[in-house]
Amino acid sequence: MKKNFIRIVAISALVTAGGCTKLEEKLNGSIPEQASGSANVASLLQASYDNLRSPFQDQARLWAAQEHTSDEAVGPTRGGDWDDNGIWRVLHRHTWDADHTFLRDTYSDLGRIIFGTTDLLRFSPTASQGAQARYLRAFATLAMLDGWDQCPYREPGGSPLELPKVRKGIAALDYVISELNAIMNDLPNGPANKANKNGAKVMLMKCYLNKAVYANRAAPVFAAADMNQVISLADQLIQSGSYSLTTNYFDNFAPNNDAIGSELIYSLENIGGSASGNVRSRWFCTLHYNQNPSGWNGFTTLADFYSKFDAADARRGGNSYPGVTSVSGIRPGFLVGQQFDQNGVALKDRKGAPLAFTPTVALKETGNNLEVTGIRVIKYPPDYFSGDNSNNDYVVYRYTDVLMMKAEAILRGGTPTAVAPTTPLAIVNQVRARAGAAALASVNLDQLCDERGREFYWEGMRRTDLVRFGKFLSPRSLKPGTSDNKYLIFPVPNQQLAVNANLTQNPGY
């Protein structure tokens, strides 16, 4: 028995000696955080600038959410092509839901910017770097507020496991305003394609102009005090003398718009041939296969929108543009009717029929002419020289918008000032004159809304405008009924609801 006991002890000892590790995980081929070099503020800031590209420039992100839902754009299904499970149709018809992948991915993309710009603040940035990061964060937060009303946020260095807290509606807006005011002095003066002081001022104008909307989207009540803020900021920008209307409207969108776009106050930098967002999708998604460049034969505008323009209006197109028409025959603006190449030869579609774009278009094209339906839109003169990375900076805020916001603020009860242009009519006619359109005799809010459409079509702001003017839900071409109030706000994506209990689904979804 004693012998056995000794054996048991010996074996137990062996058992314990043989093992018992502390289970500290060896990472092998992975790099731990402290060695990852993530504390390089300049590169982190650049990464945040780069992160703006996807949500703002891609055709399937915020741009789609702002334009396809409006009277300016539609993505027709041509046979099986561009069906994509109806993802474009539901935008135009206002029948999207909380699983819509573009809306979901836009929301996450904006969240990525907010994370990166917040996270770098813990690595001791310079005053300018910190201000730029907070500018980008405010910019992304405002886009989120405008679309979804709910803006999740984290503190710098906060654990990713903690549920992000959420600012909603006016609280989010107040946060954006206070951030912009706090960083104003530390922001650089330029250039336009970086975070800058004047960009922050335009952003503040947008905040005040839309404040009533964010308080109550269905029935906004605009306060004179807010409108006066808009006017005062506009006057500061007018008096700065830094900006002027370009003679050629399309210069603001040209491949070299960073040099010749004298209206640009804030834009997203694209470096031709090396580092760009998907600005090229603006022309690819609308051009026919047989045009140059060979497009994707997708999006069009609607006949009703096209008919809002005077024939003389240069913004409607028809004029040749240097470096474009001589290469491809394309004339920026709206493409309707027979299309020609650079030598004036009439183009044909893939079945050999004339490539003549028709004004009428349906959400589901089924006829023999399904390749050529719908008026095409070229806002950005294509860059033929930079390959997949186009040089056109992506326009966010331009001077015309500052003027037009001032006009709107006065029409909404703001007090006119002595800074010229002083009246809404003067402003609108100044904008129209540049485009060669006849002066209006008077201007009211409805006309101003139309003018904003003519001036800013396909620039990714139409939905916001229509909501503010109370026209977003109205019936329109290819959207027969009045939409439910819930469509004034996008649904919080189910993906995010699942991971953040601080988010609540927006009413009605």
C-alpha–C-alpha distance, residues 237 and 257, integer Å: 20
Q: Segment 110-129, which members bind other proteins (CB under 8 A)?
A: 110-116, 118-119
**Closest CB 97 distance from other proteins, rounded Å:** 8
Residues 6+ apart with CB under 8 A from 441: none
Q: Segment 48-87, which members bind other proteins (CB under 8 A)?
A: 77, 79-87
Nearer to other proteins, 130 or 220 (CB): 130
Could you say whether residue 389 binds other proteins (CB under 8 A)? Answer: no
C-alpha–C-alpha distance, residues 377 and 334, integer Å: 5
Q: Which residues pair with 275 in a beta bridge?
A: 271
How many residues of this chain interact with other proteins, rule: CB under 8 A?
75
**Closest CB 489 distance from other proteins, rounded Å:** 17
Helix (H) or strand (E) holding 183: helix 169-183
Contact range with other proteins by CB under 8 A, out of 9-17, 183-191, 260-268, 336-344: 9-17
Nearer to other proteins, 112 or 168 (CB): 112
Could you say whether residue 480 binds other proteins (CB under 8 A)? Answer: no
How is residue 351 written in tokens? 């079945």
Helix (H) or strand (E) holding 111: helix 101-119
Nearer to other proteins, 52 or 404 (CB): 52
Question: Which of 213, 37, 148 lies closest to 493 in space, CA to CA?
Answer: 148
Contact range with other proteins by CB under 8 A, out of 28-36, 66-74, 263-271, 384-392: 28-36
Could you say whether residue 93 binds other proteins (CB under 8 A)? Answer: yes
Residues 6+ apart with CB under 8 A from 143: 55, 56, 62, 110
Could you say whether residue 388 binds other proteins (CB under 8 A)? Answer: no
Cβ atoms within 10 Å of 125's Cβ, excluding its own: 18
Residue where the block lists tokens 């089924």: 366
Residues 6+ apart with CB under 8 A from 146: 210, 214, 464
**Closest CB 292 distance from other proteins, rounded Å:** 17
**Closest CB 462 distance from other proteins, rounded Å:** 22
C-alpha–C-alpha distance, residues 209 and 203, integer Å: 10
How far, in whole angstroms, is CA 63 from its chain's centroid? 5
Could you say whether residue 500 binds other proteins (CB under 8 A)? Answer: yes
Residues 6+ apart with CB under 8 A from 215: 169, 170, 221
Among 218, 273, 354, 364, binds other proteins (CB under 8 A): 364
Could you say whether residue 494 binds other proteins (CB under 8 A)? Answer: yes
**Closest CB 144 distance from other proteins, rounded Å:** 9
**Closest CB 3 distance from other proteins, rounded Å:** 9
Contact range with other proteins by CB under 8 A, out of 101-109, 238-246, 290-298, 317-325: 101-109
Q: Segment 444-473, which members bind other proteins (CB under 8 A)?
A: none
Nearer to other proteins, 406 or 479 (CB): 479
Could you say whether residue 352 binds other proteins (CB under 8 A)? Answer: no
Contact 382, 324 (CB under 8 A): yes
Nearer to other proteins, 103 or 212 (CB): 103
User: Would strands 77-78 and 376-378 be described as parallel, antiparallel, or unpaired?
Assistant: unpaired
Helix (H) or strand (E) holding 377: strand 376-378
Nearer to other proteins, 97 or 446 (CB): 97
Among 56, 63, 107, 394, binds other proteins (CB under 8 A): 107
**Closest CB 23 distance from other proteins, rounded Å:** 4
Tell me the per-residue interface mask from 242 to 271 with other proteins, x by CB under 8 A, - otherwise.
------------------------------
What would the 3-class secondary structure string for 133-151 be?
A: HHHHHHHHHHHHHHHHCEE
Distances (CA, A) of 5 to 1, 189, 479: 6, 85, 88
Amino acid (1-letter code) at residue 138: A
Q: Segment 181-240, which members bind other proteins (CB under 8 A)?
A: none
**Closest CB 480 distance from other proteins, rounded Å:** 11
Nearer to other proteins, 43 or 244 (CB): 43
Q: Which residues pair with 335 in a beta bridge?
A: 376
Nearer to other proteins, 112 or 486 (CB): 112
Contact 449, 455 (CB under 8 A): no
How is residue 282 written in tokens? 């603006």
Could you say whether residue 348 binds other proteins (CB under 8 A)? Answer: no
Cβ atoms within 10 Å of 416's Cβ, excluding its own: 12
Q: Segment 118-177, which members bind other proteins (CB under 8 A)?
A: 118-119, 152-154, 159-161, 163-164
